Copies of this chain bind each other. A is one copy, B any other.
């Protein structure tokens, strides 16, 4: 067997796929945030012309899919696979938003780790020579998520400061065996980590140990250090989770503080936008990657990025039954150059 697997959890890609295009569509609140200039489209209201929030989220996914294909100058005939999923029960947004695509479809569920999970699987499909072009995408929607996971919005329930704000948005990428970068060079697949945290209003804290585990494992598996990257970015730990993750990594002997950020902190201005601990949802890391990070890679402002999307694998049922919150984080290493 070739030496593609390095360490326990990492694959070093032999034929690193390129991210040849990205697309992002976000909601109005995200469109007022610090990254507003980087998104392809900002929708005017959360309904997006649809009769329900779930239909609006499906449409976000459908339109992002269509947009990313166009930007890559590809058609569905060029695609070998779509890898997609979302937060809604039975992955409603992906399954309905992409049902007309006519492309072989692999549905994934990794909660808010979905973008990195789908990019991982997509990259492996290309590196394994099973595919030339793969679309990976995901979405979330503030209203459909609140309705499903928390309280009816009409109640106006007050949220504790540790709570995060689910991003309305969809982000997608086209990965291709042809292209001139940015390249996906390494994939570190996370294991489920559950440290016993039960507070559904503090998911950053629940996910932080999983993020730490994947990042530290990535360093150990690859021999990379924090100096190998100019950005290590977690999915949606928010202010509290990011601080915990940073500290936990420090305890393991790595200092990433200088180059560490979190998509949940990047997408909203917490002072101005009342987003509490920060953004969350599959769409958070997906739109920040597709919108901001990719463009900075293309401009050469960033050259080596470790993208670590983080997922809290709870459901309302599990929490009602007193369960803690299992979490997972998947890491994708993206570089403008091939070593």
Which residues of A line the B interface, CB within 8 A?
A: 1-2, 4-5, 8-9, 11, 51-52, 54-55, 80-81, 85, 87-92, 95-96, 98-111, 117, 120-121, 124-125, 127-132, 148, 177, 189-194, 313-318, 321, 323, 326, 328
Contacts and interface: CB of A to CB of B under 8 A. Distances in A.
Contact of A109 (B91, B125, B326): B91
B5 A80 contact: yes
Contacts of A323: 96
B314 A90 contact: yes
A252 to B, nearest CB: 17
A317 B88 contact: yes
Contacts of A128: 4, 124-125, 127-130
A56 B191 CA distance: 22
A268 to B, nearest CB: 24
A5 B89 CA distance: 32
Contact of A192 (B105, B148, B326): B105
Contact of A90 (B106, B109, B121, B328): B109
A313 B95 CA distance: 6
Nearest to A144: B317
B326 A96 contact: yes
A95 B326 contact: yes
A312 to B, nearest CB: 9
A92 B317 contact: yes
A130 B95 contact: no
A99 B206 CA distance: 14
A315 B92 contact: yes
Contacts of A51: 321
Contacts of A117: 106-107
